Amino acid sequence: MGNPAHLTCHLCGQDHLPAPLVTGEMALCARCGAVMEKGARFGPDAAFAFSVTGLVLAVPAALLPFISAGKLGNERMSHLLTGVGALWDNGMRMLALLVLLCGCILPVVLLAAIALAHVPECLGWRPGARAELARVVRTLEHACIPEVQVLAVLVALMKLGSVVEVTIGPAFWFYCAMALAAIMAQQSFNLEPPVPPSGPDAPQSP
């Protein structure tokens, strides 16, 4: 574990002194070349804005009709959690929980963690709170995969084209927008808070 005053490469463990990055700049590890931080493309509060946007979009994505399918006069409407319920009813409860976690709960938790990580400075929380939330974000980003669920739905829609009549509901678009907001929030979120200019040991930038 690196010195908390330093920026530690998550791949090789090399410590670096943090340096302020301007828009479009990336901090690369001097040893392994991994991207450690990116300059905020949309300003310092972009991660907060994207995460709050994602949280707002998650509500209609969960409540409104997702996709409806029709066959010989019968119509069936599904919501975001309908598939989870069907797997649960089929006795595949662990699988249902996995889909629920990766597609619904963890994206919301990740967005909330990113939003909360920007609160401490405003509310005077203890200094370590941001670092802890940053660790939560780093851990969750592997399991938070709404974009994969979006791709799965698109594949399913192509597959179903000849079998049933499919109508896309508003919740699907809200879910796509939430997935995009989650990606943008992750991309804009830096583990370290902005720091003043420092010495010559700053990470490289291309």
Partner 1 sequence: MSRSFQFKSNTNAAALALAAAVMLVPANLLPVLDTQTSGDNRSDTIFSGAAALWHNGLWAIAVIVFTASIVIPVLKLAGLGWLLLAMRRPNPANPGRLTRIYAAIDFIGRWSMLDVFLAAFLTGLIRFGEFSTVVAREGIVAFAAAVVLTVLATQAFDPKAIWRNEPAPAHSPP
Q: Please list the residues that pair with 68 across neighbouring strands.
A: 77, 167
Left if phi > 0, otherwise alpha if psi is -120 to 50, otherwise beta: which for 73?
A: left
Is residue 196 part of the contact set for partner 1 (CB under 8 A)? Answer: no
Does residue 148 bind partner 1 (CB under 8 A)? yes
Q: Where are the beta strands (DSSP E) in the chain?
A: 7-8, 15-16, 26-28, 35-38, 67-71, 74-78, 165-168
Asked if 17 is part of the footprint of partner 1 (rule: CB under 8 A), the reply reads yes
Question: Where does this chain touch partner 1 (CB under 8 A) — which range of 12-20, 107-115, 116-124, 185-193?
Answer: 12-20
Min separation Cβ 53 and partner 1, Å:
22
Binders of partner 1 among residues 106 to 145 (CB under 8 A) are: 142-143, 145
* Distance in Å, CB of 194 to partner 1, minimum: 19
Minimum separation from the CB atom of position 103 to partner 1 (A) = 6
Q: Which is nearer to partner 1, 115 or 202 (CB)?
A: 202
Q: Which is nearer to partner 1, 117 or 144 (CB)?
A: 144
Distance (Å, whole) CA 13 – CA 1: 7
Q: How far is the CB of 150 from partner 1 (least distance, A)?
A: 9
Tokens of 180: 């995009």
User: Distances in Å between the alpha carbon of 174 and those of 58, 84, 105, 159?
Assistant: 7, 19, 15, 22
Q: How far apart are CA 202 and CA 133, in angstroms?
A: 24
Interaction between residue 69 and partner 1 (CB under 8 A): yes
